[in-house]
A and B are shown apart, each in its own frame.
Chain A
Amino acid sequence: MEDFIIDAQNKTPREVNQTIKEAALENKKITIKNPNAMHYLAAGITESVDLVVDGSAGYFVGTMIHGARIHINGNAGWFPADNMTEGELVIDGSAGDGVGQGIYGGTVVVTRDAGSRTGEIMKNGTIIIGGNSGFMTGLFMMGGRIIILGDIAEDAGESIIRGVIYIKGNIKSLGKNAKVKELDEEDKRELEELLPEYGFQLSPEDYRDFKKIVPLSKRPFYGKESEEG
């Protein structure tokens, strides 16, 4: 596969993104060199392209992508994959706050730790954090799944409405409307199928450590539980 190289050195985010959009029409793989933790990289890419960011990215990397597969060889700042609808964003490093904020679909992977509010207001899709995830992970989560292989910090699942958060490590504290449940066999099978796809090789004992956070109620603030369709 031919690799189209973009050198981001001395370019603005707008220039880099315009070049990505044009190159994505004719290339299956694009590599961005010298990203220098630049913000907004690969924003709004709707082509089904493989994009490698060869270094750290700044805020909102991969925001609003639909179908692109992005691999970052470094860290990411706040809100990676924000509002993604389809595709994949793999961060081979750590990430800041709001990983996968508001995603509607697709998969976000952070191989090490993530900051606060991972998966806030996400509607669907999958987020995998290889390390720890910070304060208010799953804040107002409305669907999808978050998998945390490390520990989860205070107020986990704060005001969660739908969706599920799987945690292998410790839960510091739960947020409002969140409760902990044991995994059932279907949950375990789902994790056993999913995690190796992204290079997380766990033993059968490891899978037994998982527990999950789900909503106490789908109508925590007003209305009646019976109204839930």
Chain B
Amino acid sequence: MCGISGVVFKDKKLHPVGDYMTKMLDALQHRGPDSAGFAIYGGLGLEENEYLLNIEVKEAPGLLEQVKNTVITTTPIKKEEIIPSVEDYIIYRCKIALNSFNELKPLIMDIDEIKNVIVLNGSHSFEMIKDVGLVKDIAARYNTKDKMGTHAIGHTRFSTESIVDRYHAHPFQSYIIPDITVVHNGQITNYWKIRDPLERKGHIFETTNDTECIVHYIADKLNEGYHLEEALEQSVKDMDGPFSYIVGTPNGVGIAKDQLGLRPGVLAENDEVFAIASEEVALREVLDTHDVEQISPGEARAYTI
């Protein structure tokens, strides 16, 4: 089933968007208990060439040092943090600097070569938080309520296809262009038809999860010069199956819904806030919901700042 949500503060200023997104996702908890995730944009305050890596590392002697040594072969570690997780894993978070964005994906692939280690994400303009379990537990573990930002997307997962772990928790990210994320409720039934041409263009798939397919598709379209809403509109024409999904970019969020309208999506906005979600119960956490708009079948909507 899954719950999805997105929120943008129109004034481009920093707001406690982590707290708002936590409340929105908690309200959608009934739609999926397996994992939850956030992409919180605008609050990291990194220098132009800096990136934040989130790396899942099994608690084993010497493994974390091996990860650090791999990172150091490419670039020095500027700052680091260890966040305890569950099931004998930690999240190793480090800040690095790269000469260009193009160095990020190869570094991630190098780190992923280490057994019992996987890079959950690498980002410049947003903070990715995703883990297995319930929203309130993840929120407490990662202190999401204190995260500031301009906009965010989030997800509660009811897994139907791929496995339940941190990596398969949403949001998914693409590295075709920087900082594109997707949260998704549904299934893409022509998955291979979408994936094949993207792979032929050289885009790298790490999973068989259809949400990864969406995020690469959207990033590819944005890379070709589509505006966010145009990319979403095209995706509705190209993708089959029941779905609604929300995209996060450094400048905003957008939602797309399948042509038969088989997955929910609602929208509300005022002068300050643009909010989208699976259900009204999430929207009411950020604004008055007197006027709630149903996203129509085949419709795409976006708000960029």
Contact = CB atoms under 8 A, between A and B. Distances in A.
Contacts of B30: 39
Interface of A: 36-39, 56, 58-59, 74-75, 77-78, 93-94, 96-97, 113-117, 134-135, 153
Contacts of B289: 37, 56, 74-75
Contacts of A75: 280, 289, 292
The interface residues of chain B, by DSSP majority, are classed as loop
A77 B294 CA distance: 9
B279 A37 contact: yes
A117 B297 CA distance: 11
A78 B280 contact: no
Contacts of B281: 36-38, 58
Contacts of B297: 116, 134-135
Nearest to A113: B294
Interface in B254-304: 260-261, 264, 266, 279-281, 284, 289-294, 296-297
B296 A116 contact: yes
Contacts of A113: 293-294
B64 to A, nearest CB: 42
Interface residues on B, range: 10 to 19
Nearest to A39: B30
B290 A93 contact: yes
Contacts of B293: 94, 113
B290 to A, nearest CB: 7
Nearest to A116: B261
B296 A36 contact: no
A135 B280 contact: no
Contacts of A38: 281
B284 A96 contact: no
A134 B280 contact: no
A96 B292 CA distance: 9
A97 B284 contact: no
A116 B260 CA distance: 9
B228 to A, nearest CB: 24
B279 A36 contact: no
Contact of A58 (B261, B279, B290, B296): B279
A77 B260 CA distance: 17
A94 B279 contact: no
Contacts of B292: 56, 75, 93-94
Interface string B116-151: 000000000000000000000000000000000000
B284 A36 contact: yes
B296 A56 contact: no
8 interchain residue pairs of minimum CB distance: A37-B281, A115-B294, A116-B261, A37-B280, A135-B297, A75-B292, A56-B280, A135-B261
Contacts of A94: 291-294
A38 B266 CA distance: 15
Contact of A134 (B266, B290, B291, B294): B294
B113 to A, nearest CB: 46
Contact of A115 (B261, B279, B284): B261
Contacts of B266: 96
Nearest to B292: A75
Contacts of B261: 97, 115-117, 134-135
27 contacts: A36-B284, A37-B279, A37-B281, A37-B289, A38-B281, A39-B30, A56-B280, A58-B280, A58-B281, A74-B290, A77-B279, A78-B264, A93-B290, A94-B292, A94-B293, A96-B264, A96-B266, A97-B264, A113-B294, A114-B294, A115-B296, A116-B261, A116-B294, A116-B297, A134-B261, A134-B297, A135-B297
Contacts of A39: 30
Contacts of B296: 115-116, 134-135, 153
A96 B294 contact: yes
Contacts of A78: 264
B264 to A, nearest CB: 6
Nearest to A36: B281
B285 to A, nearest CB: 10
B236 to A, nearest CB: 13
A56 B260 CA distance: 25
A220 B282 CA distance: 42
A37 B283 CA distance: 10
Contacts of B284: 36-37, 56
Interface centre among A75, A78, A97, A134, by most B CB within 10 Å? A75
A95 to B, nearest CB: 8
Name, among B260, B292, B296, the residue most crowded by chain A CB atoms within 10 Å (CB to CB). Answer: B292
Contact of A97 (B290, B291, B294): B294
B49 to A, nearest CB: 44
